[in-house]
Amino acid sequence: MASTDLGEDRLVWMYTQMVRIREFEEHVKRTFFEHPGAMRGHTHLADGAEASIVGTLATRNAEDLAMPSYRCHAQPLVLGTSPRKMMAELYGRKDGLCKGFGGSMHLADPEHHFPGTSAIVGQSIAHAAGAALTAQVKKTGQIVYCFFGDGSAKQGAFFETLNLAAIWKLPVVFVLENNEYQAYTHISLEDANAMAGDPLSKKAAAFSIPGATVDGTDPLKVYDEVRKAAARARAGDGPSLIESKFYRFSAHGNAITVPPVPTQFPEHEAVGVYGNRDEYRKARERDPNKLFRASLLAQGVFSEADAKGIEDNARAEMDDAVQFALASPLPSPEEAANYVYA
What is the percent of the chain where pLDDT is above 70? 86
Q: How many CB atoms lie within 10 A of CB 31?
A: 22
**Rounded average pLDDT over 6-25:** 96
**Phi, psi dihedral angles at 185 (to 5 degrees):** -105, 125
Mean pLDDT along residues 177-200:
65
**170 contacts 145 by C-beta, under 8 angstroms:** no
Q: What is the pLDDT of residue 33?
A: 74
State the DSSP H helix or E strand holding residue 335, giving kind and residue range, or none if neither. none
DSSP 35-102: STTSS-S-----TT-HHHHHHHHTT--TT-EEE--S--SHHHHHHT--HHHHHHHHTT-TTSTTTTSS
Rounded CA gap, 56 and 286, in Å?
19
Q: Are strands 65-67 and 240-245 parallel, antiparallel or unpaired?
A: unpaired
SS3 11: helix
First to last CA, the chain: 50
Q: What is the pLDDT of residues 60-69, one digit of tens each?
A: 999 999 999 8
Q: Enter the pTM of the model.
A: 0.88
- Nearest CA-CA partner of 125 in 156, 150, 157: 157
Burial of 196 (C-beta count, 10 Å sphere; 0-12/13-18/19+): exposed
Categorize the per-residue pLDDT at 197 as very low, low, confident or very high, splitting at 50, 70 and 90.
low
Q: Is 265 exposed, middle or buried (0-12, 13-18, 19+ CB in 10 A)?
A: middle
Task: Summarize the chain as % helix, strand, coil (round to 5).
Answer: 50, 10, 40
Check residue 173 and give its pLDDT.
98
Compute the Cα dihedral for 141, 16, 52, 152 and give only its sign: negative
State phi, psi for 213 to the nearest 5 degrees. Answer: -110, 135
Q: Are 253 and 44 in contact (CB under 8 A)?
A: yes
Q: How far apart are CA 78 and CA 13, in angstroms?
A: 10
- Across residues 78-104, what is the average pLDDT? 91
Evaluate the CA torsion angle 45, 91, 76, 297 in order and state its sign. negative
Beta-carbon contacts of residue 291 (< 8 Å; ≥ 6 apart) = 51, 217, 218
Amino acid 250: pLDDT:
75
Task: List C-alpha distances in Å: 147 to 20, 104, 113, 243, 247.
Answer: 19, 16, 14, 10, 15
pLDDT tens string 228-239:
999 999 999 999
Q: Tell me, what's the pLDDT at 310?
A: 98
CA-based nearest residue to 166, from 233, 236, 239: 239
Question: For residue range 217-267, what is the model confidence (pLDDT) as tens digits?
Answer: 999 999 999 999 999 999 999 999 999 998 888 766 664 444 443 444 444
Q: Residues 311-328: what's their mean pLDDT?
A: 96
The answer on pLDDT for 153 being more than 60 is yes
